[in-house]
Amino acid sequence: KLLIKDLKVDEVPLRIYQPKWPPTGKRRGILYFHGGAGTFGSIRAFERICRYIAKKCNSVVVSVGYRLAPEHPYPGQYFDCLSATLYFMRNLEEYHVDPALIVISGDSCGANFATVICQILLNKRDLPKVRAQVLLYPGLQGLDFHLPSYQQNASVPMLFRKLVLYFCFRYLNKEPSILEDVLQNYHVPESMKQKYKKWVSADIIPDKFKIRGYVPQKSTLYKPEVHEAVKELLAITFSPLLAEDSIICQLPEAYIVTCEFDVLRDDGLLYKKRLEDNGVQVTWYHSESGFHGILAFFGYGIFSFLSGKKIMDSTVNYINSL
């Protein structure tokens, strides 16, 4: 039912899915950045998700095979995603895509890339405005690794709390010797904690998400040498949740998926609140039994999860409502 073609743009592999039936009008255009902590994952691994969206939403889906760290150093992944986005936005006619219906999406770190690309595109006045950002269990900040979801789901597969930082370090090509210090938030100066606590804090998380064994963290040490070693964790590219209100208020409406059993759950909850506080419309879907990376199993028959199917169907319904 789909025409699928592979091409490269500025060395970045793309796979483009379009319905075979002739378009009755202009279609939606959806960019998809896959998860994998910026260090693994591929177009092929997310084939089923992209096919499903293309068919169910009668849309053109562009799956972006950004090059992976550490071989392709950070922040190259963002430039790859941006190159793919600019190529697509400049060639909408060829794909019969409506410039008013462009959706930027991704899961996990791919959702982080989608968030950052939406922020970067605000400065590009010559391009169509993005209609919506679709963020599936996004990771959006490297400021606080003691949020309730980090504590509650520290040992929940597939993404353990320590594994988050292991991947962050691999992605940024850092020595893992200070991993434990960063887990304790020793990398954040007091001034930054104070500045950002209105946006990143357990106090903002609704109480119903704290009942599963959350213990507020006592005030922590600050180690300047640790901060110096991993300061990229606090840059806006890595932590788009820390962007200023003047940027957040201009962003397109959002669809955010969070999973209960996910260390990154609270990143999604905090971003939802930030967007809403800035007058941006948010549609939120919370999977009560979902876990991080659940969509990696989508479409694999007996190995897939009902929660994953529900997430995909809710996502498709949202895109079709635009």
Q: Which residues are catalytic?
A: 108, 262, 292
Alpha carbon distances (Å) from 148 to 69, 204, 205, 234, 270: 29, 11, 8, 20, 12
Given a contact cutoff of 8 angstroms between Cβ atoms, the answer to whether 239 and 111 are in contact is no
Alpha carbon distances (Å) from 191 to 151, 188, 257: 24, 8, 31
Alpha carbon distances (Å) from 122 to 2, 100, 225, 282: 32, 15, 35, 18
Helices (H), 57-145: 76-90, 109-121
Given a contact cutoff of 8 angstroms between Cβ atoms, the answer to whether 284 and 272 are in contact is yes
Residue 97 bridge partners (DSSP)? 27
Distance CA 9, CA 162 (A): 35
Distance CA 201, CA 273 (A): 12
Say how many residues make up the chain: 322
Given a contact cutoff of 8 angstroms between Cβ atoms, the answer to whether 83 and 77 are in contact is no
Residue carrying the six token digits 């950052």: 116
